[in-house]
Structure 1
Amino acid sequence: MKIALLGTRGVPNNHGGFEQFAEYFSVYLAENSHEVYVYNSHDHPYKESSFKKVNIIHCYDPEYKIGTAGQFIYDLNCILDARKRNFDIILQLGYTSSSIWHWLMPRKSIIATNMDGLEWKRSKYSPKVRTFLKYAEKLAANNSDYLIADSVGIQEHLRKAYNKSSEYIAYGATNFIGPNPAALKQYELKEFEYSMILARLEPENNIETIIEGYKMANTSNPLIIIGGINEYGLGLKNKYQNDSRIKFVGANYNQENLNNLRYYSRYYFHGHSVGGTNPSLLEAMASNALIIANNNIFNKSILNEGAIYFDSQEQITNILNEDSYFSLKEKNALLNRNKIDHEFNWEIINRRYEEFLSGLIKTKP
Structure 2
Amino acid sequence: MKIAMIGQKGVPATYGGPERHVEELGRRLVAMGHEVSVYVRPYYGQTAQEGGFLKEYLGMRLYTLPSIRTKHLDAISHTFLSTFHAIPRGMDIVHFHAQGPSTAAWLSRVGRSRTVATVHGLDWQREKWGRLASAYLKLGEISSARWVDGTICVSRTMTRYYEERFGIHPAYIPNGIRMPGEVGSARITSQWGLERGGYYLFLARLVPEKGCHYLIQSFRRLKTNRKLVITGGGVYTDAYVQRLRSLAGDDPRILFTGYQYGEVLEELYANAYLYILPSELEGLPITLLEAMSHATPALVSDIPENLEVLDGVEAPTGRVGLTFPQGSEE
Say yes or no: TM over 0.5.
Answer: yes
The one of 241, 244, 268 aligned to 1:233 = 241
Between 219-228 and 277-286, the greater mean CA deviation after superposition: 219-228
- Any residues of structure 2 matched to 1:286-305 within 5 Å, and which? 286-304=293-311, 305=319
CA 1:37–1:250 in 2, change beyond 3 Å: closer, same or farther? same
Cα-to-partner distance string for 1:81-121 (whole Å, 9 max, x where unaligned)? 3322332222111231441x333223432211001201111
Equivalent residue for 1:11? 11
Equivalent residue for 1:167? 171
Give SS of 2:100's match. coil
**Is 2:102–2:143's contact at 8 Å kept on the other side of the alignment?**
no
Equivalent AA in structure 1 for residue 157 of structure 2: G
Equivalent residue for 2:108? 105
Give SS of 2:89's match. coil
Equivalent AA in structure 2 for residue 270 of structure 1: L
Question: How many angstroms does 1:62 deviate by?
Answer: 3.0
Equivalent-residue separation in structure 2 for 1:201 and 1:286 (angstroms): 23
Equivalent AA in structure 2 for residue 311 of structure 1: P
Cα-to-partner distance string for 1:29-54 (whole Å, 9 max, x where unaligned)? 22222232223346642635444443
**Is 2:120–2:153's contact at 8 Å kept on the other side of the alignment?**
yes
Equivalent residue for 1:244? 252
- Any residues of structure 2 matched to 1:168-247 within 5 Å, and which? 168-185=172-189, 186-228=191-233, 230-245=238-253, 247=254
Q: Where do 5+ consecutive residues of structure 1 fail to align? A: 318-365
The one of 62, 66, 70 aligned to 1:56 = 62
Equivalent residue for 1:326? none
Equivalent-residue separation in structure 1 for 2:322 and 2:202 (angstroms): 15
Equivalent AA in structure 1 for residue 107 of structure 2: L
Equivalent-residue separation in structure 2 for 1:48 and 1:220 (angstroms): 44
Question: How many angstroms does 1:142 deviate by?
Answer: 1.4
Equivalent residue for 2:320? 306
CA 1:253–1:189 in 2, change beyond 3 Å: closer, same or farther? closer
CA 1:268–1:138 in 2, change beyond 3 Å: closer, same or farther? same
Equivalent residue for 1:137? 141
Equivalent-residue separation in structure 2 for 1:274 and 1:266 (angstroms): 24
Between 40-49 and 132-141, the greater mean CA deviation after superposition: 40-49
Equivalent-residue separation in structure 1 for 2:11 and 2:327 (angstroms): 39
Equivalent AA in structure 2 for residue 37 of structure 1: S
Equivalent residue for 1:344? none
Question: How many angstroms does 1:162 deviate by?
Answer: 1.7
CA 1:40–1:181 in 2, change beyond 3 Å: closer, same or farther? closer
Equivalent residue for 2:118? 114
**Is 1:183–1:261's contact at 8 Å kept on the other side of the alignment?**
no
Between 146-155 and 20-29, the greater mean CA deviation after superposition: 20-29
Question: How many angstroms does 1:227 deviate by?
Answer: 2.1
Give SS of 2:259's match. coil
Give SS of 1:175's match. coil
Give SS of 1:63's match. coil
What is the alpha-carbon root mean square deviation over aligned residues? 2.4
Equivalent residue for 2:73? 69
Identity among equivalent positions (%) equals 24
Equivalent residue for 1:281? 288
Equivalent residue for 2:315? none
Between 169-178 and 70-79, the greater mean CA deviation after superposition: 70-79
Cα-to-partner distance string for 1:191-236 (whole Å, 9 max, x where unaligned)? 2132121122222212122222222333232212222263212112
Equivalent-residue separation in structure 2 for 1:50 and 1:202 (angstroms): 31
Between 30-39 and 112-121, the greater mean CA deviation after superposition: 30-39
Question: How many angstroms does 1:148 deviate by?
Answer: 0.3
CA 1:146–1:217 in 2, change beyond 3 Å: closer, same or farther? same
**Is 2:14–2:261's contact at 8 Å kept on the other side of the alignment?**
no
Between 34-43 and 227-236, the greater mean CA deviation after superposition: 34-43
**Is 1:111–1:144's contact at 8 Å kept on the other side of the alignment?**
yes
Equivalent-residue separation in structure 2 for 1:176 and 1:280 (angstroms): 13
Between 292-301 and 280-289, the greater mean CA deviation after superposition: 280-289
Equivalent AA in structure 2 for residue 141 of structure 1: A
Equivalent-residue separation in structure 1 for 2:303 and 2:36 (angstroms): 36
CA 1:6–1:184 in 2, change beyond 3 Å: closer, same or farther? closer
TM-score, normalisation: structure 2: 0.85
Rg larger in structure: 1
TM-score, normalisation: structure 1: 0.77
Give SS of 2:48's match. coil
Equivalent AA in structure 2 for residue 115 of structure 1: V
Q: Where do 5+ consecutive residues of structure 2 fail to align? A: 312-318
The one of 254, 267, 271 aligned to 2:274 = 267
Equivalent-residue separation in structure 1 for 2:265 and 2:299 (angstroms): 17
Question: How many angstroms does 1:257 deviate by?
Answer: 1.7
Give SS of 1:105's match. helix
Q: How many residues were matched structurally?
A: 312
Equivalent residue for 2:316? none
Between 13-22 and 232-241, the greater mean CA deviation after superposition: 13-22
